[in-house]
Amino acid sequence: MSDRPVRWGVLGVARIAKSDVIPAITAAEGAEALAVASRDAERARHCAEQFEIPRPYGSYEALLSDPDIEAVYIPLPNHLHAETTIAAARAGKHVLCEKPMAATADDARRMFDASDRAGVHLMEAFMYRFHPQTRRVLELLAAGTIGPPRLVRSSHSFPMHLQDRDDDFRWQKDADGGCLGDLGIYCLDVAQRVFDAPPTEAWARAEHRPPHSAEAALQGIVSFGTDRALVFDCSFLDARQSEYAVTGERGRITAAMTFHPGRGQDVQILIESEGDFRLENIPAADEYRLEVEHFSRCVRSGTPPEISRHQTLRNLTAADGLRRAAAAGERIRLDL
C-alpha cells in the first residue's frame, strides 16, 4: 500500500466542512486537502485561503475534472447528495458523503450502483462511529456485558428555532430537510448497529412548524424483529440532547454526550450489569479526523469502508417508513 497521502477535494463550503471536516483532513495522517469548490468562486477562494488549500474552484464540475483529486467530501444540502455523488463516481472519485446519504433508500441504491460501476468507494459520513466511546460500547456489547440487547432508547435534539436560522435548508421539505434526516438518523444508525438486523416495522408522530414544511420534531418506534426495538425522539425545537442507552437481559449501557461531543470534550459510559454500576471515562477524540483517516486507508488499500451499503440502506428504509407512518398515523411494515 502506498504511503502517499490521499488527495482530497471538498465540494461545498458548508458550516460543517469549515468547522470540522476540512480541519480533520488537514490534521489526518494519510490525507491532504488539495482543493475546495463552491458555486461562488469568491467563497471558494476565501475558504482556500483560510485553510491553505492550494486549489479553489468556482464550480463542482471543475473540481471533479481535476485528475489529481482522488477522494471528495460532500457536505451539500441533502437534495444534492445523490446527483453530486453519482457525478463524482463517474469522474472516478471516491466519495465520503454527509449524512443522510440520500432522501430515500432508492436514491442511495443509485449512488452505490454508480460507485460500484466506477470501482470507487462510497461511505456515509457517520463520524460518531469512529469515536472511542462508540467503539467501547460495541466492545462491551460483544463481550456480553448486558446480555443480548433488546431495547435502544435515544434522544438527539438542539433548538435550531432559537438560532435565527430560518433560511437553513434543514427546515425545507423541498431540500429533503427535517430533524429526522439531520438528527434522528443517528438514532436509527445506533440501533441497527447494535442489533445488526434490518428494521421491520415503524411508527412515528411528527410536528411541523409553519412556514417550515419539513418535520421540526419527531418521535418514533422502530422494530428490529420480534424482541428488539428502538424508541427515540429528535427535534429542532427542544434543548440539546445527544444520548442513547442499550438495555439487555442483564443490564444497561448508557452513552452520554454522544454523536458530536466536540474535539476537546471527554465523555462517559455508564454500565449497569446485574446490579453493579460503574462509570467509564472516555478521553476526548477528533471523530472527524478518525473518520477521514479510515476512509483514506480504504482508498489506498482497496478495503471496503466500515459503514457499508446495507447499513446505509437499513437506515434510509427505516427513515422512509417513519415518514410514511407519521403521515398515515399508523404502523408501517418495512421491506428492504
**Concatenated DSSP letters for 89-138?**
HHTT-EEEEESS--SSHHHHHHHHHHHHHHT--EEEE-GGGGSHHHHHHH
pLDDT at 275: 83
How many CB atoms sit inside 10 A of residue 21's CB?
A: 24
For the whole model, what pTM was predicted?
0.95
pLDDT at 165: 65
Element containing residue 72 per DSSP (H, E): strand 71-74
Helix (H, G, I), strand (E, B) or coil at 205: strand
Looking only at the bridges linking them, the beta strands covering 229-235 and 215-223 are antiparallel
Please check the confidence at residue 1 and state whether its pLDDT lies above 80.
no
Domains of the chain, start order: 6-126+289-304 (3.40.50.720), 128-286+316-333 (3.30.360.10)
Please check the confidence at residue 166 and state whether its pLDDT lies above 70.
no
What is the average pLDDT value for the chain, to the nearest integer? 94
pLDDT at 211: 60
Q: How far apart are alpha carbons 57 and 183 in whole angstroms?
A: 31
Least reliable range by pLDDT among 53-57, 206-210, 316-320: 206-210
pLDDT at 212: 60
pLDDT at 160: 85
